[in-house]
Amino acid sequence: MERLPSLISQLSSFRSSVLFRPASRLQIARASSSSSTRMEAGHYKFGPYQIDQKEVFYSTDLSYALVNLRPLLPGNVLVCPRREVKRFIDLTTEETSDLWISAQKIGKQLENYHKASSLTFAIQDGPQAGQTVPHVHIHIVPRKGGDFDNNDEIYDAIDEKEKELKKTLDLDKERKDRSMVEMAQEADEYRKLFS
C-alpha cells in the first residue's frame, strides 16, 4: 500500500510525457503511416558519404530509401534512418518504428513491381556482423524461386557486396557496377510506386 502513491506519481508523470509531447513527435506516426516521396531540398548522408538526391526514392521525416550501387538482385535497395546512427540499438523507438514501417511499405511495392514471391530483409549491425558503412541500414531484396541455389547464400552475397562497396568508396574510384544515370532512372521508377 505504501508503494501505491509512488506508482501513481510515476504513472501520472508518464502519462503527462506521452500526452503532452511536442507536435513533431506526434507527427512521426503520421509520417510513418503515409507514404512519402517528397525529396526535401536537404541532403542525405550514408555514414561518411554524401548521397545524391537522385538515388533516393522514398523519404519520411525519420527515414529514407535509396537504390543500391551494387545490387545483388533487381530491386535490392537500402532503407536508412536520416540521422547518422552506427548501431541498431542506438536508434530511438520512433526511428526504429519508422524504419521498419518504411521497409514494409517499400518491400511490398518492390515485390509487386519485380514480380517476386518473397523478400529478404537484412541488417548487418556492427563490423563483426559484416557492416562496412557505419550507418544503420536495412537491405531489402525481392526474391524469386531459384535466384540462389541455397537461400542462405544471399547473406554471404550481401556480405561480399558490402566489402566491395567499402573498397569502392574508400578508394574513391569510379562506380563500376552502375552509373549515376542508371541509379537515377531506377529511383525515378520506384518513386512512381509511392505517388
| 166 three-state secondary structure | helix
Q: Are 88 and 79 in contact (CB under 8 A)?
A: no
Respond yes or no: is residue 137 known to be catalytic.
Answer: yes
Residue 49 host element (H or E) = strand 49-51
Question: Is 10 annotated as a binding-site member?
Answer: no
Decide if 131 contacts 125 (C-beta within 8 A): yes
Q: Which of 43, 114, 135, 137 is catalytic?
A: 137
Cell triple for 103: 521497409
Cβ contacts of 52 within 8 Å, gap of 6 or more: 180, 184
**How far from the centroid of its chain's Cα atoms is residue 176's Cα?**
23
| 132 marked as binding residue | yes
Instruction: Convert 17-81 into a string of H (helix), E (strand) and C (coil).
Output: HHHCCCHHHHHHHHHHHCCCCCCCCCCEEECCEEECHHHEEEECCCEEEEECCCCCCCCCEEEEE
Q: Is 120 annotated as a binding residue?
A: no
| 85 labeled binding residue | no
The strand pairing partners of 51, in sequence order, are 44
DSSP state of 145: T
- The separation between CA 90 and the C-alpha centre of its own chain, rounded to angstroms, equals 15
Query: Does the annotation list 135 as a binding residue?
Result: no
* Bind-site residues: 68, 124, 130-133, 139
- Residues identified as active-site: 137
* Bind-site residues for substrate: 68, 124, 130-133, 139
